[in-house]
Amino acid sequence: MTKDEALKLALDALENISTALREDDVLGSDSELMLNAITAIEEALDECDEDELIIRYHEMTIKRLEKRIEELTAHPQQSIWVGLTDEEILQGNKESWVTLQAWQSAVWWAEAKLKEKNT
């Protein structure tokens, strides 16, 4: 039996006893004690409900985060293609032994192939 169930059972019993004793006018000085006990149990039940709501909220948050992690790992974001600048192509040509036209053709071909493979 959970704490929540035990508190509800105790509350029902106290309320039934309180009603029966009030009808017979037997409570007398114990009526305040019984009413305080009923109030305390009701407050405890309210707190249990709040705790349960907090737990459910956190469980839902964890599930949303797990789902988002799964989405990100299943479909990783692709980076944007960044090609070589004209200055970088010219610098590479200066360091090579081929003509500028041959160099540019080779660079453009290589960039196209790399872009095709990476996008």
Q: Are 91 and 107 in contact (CB under 8 A)?
A: no
- How many residues in the chain? 119
Tell me the C-alpha distance between 34 and 36, whole Å. 5
* Per-residue model confidence (pLDDT) at position 76: 65
Q: What is the pLDDT of residues 70-99, one digit of tens each?
A: 877 776 666 777 888 888 888 988 888 888
Task: State both tokens at 47.
Answer: 């707190």
Q: 27 — phi, psi (to 5°)? A: -60, -50
Cα separation, 20 vs 26, in Å, equals 9
| Whether the model pTM is above 0.75 | no
The string of pLDDT tens digits covering residues 9-32 is 777 777 777 776 666 655 555 666
Task: List the Cα angle 67/68/74 in 5-degree steps.
Answer: 90
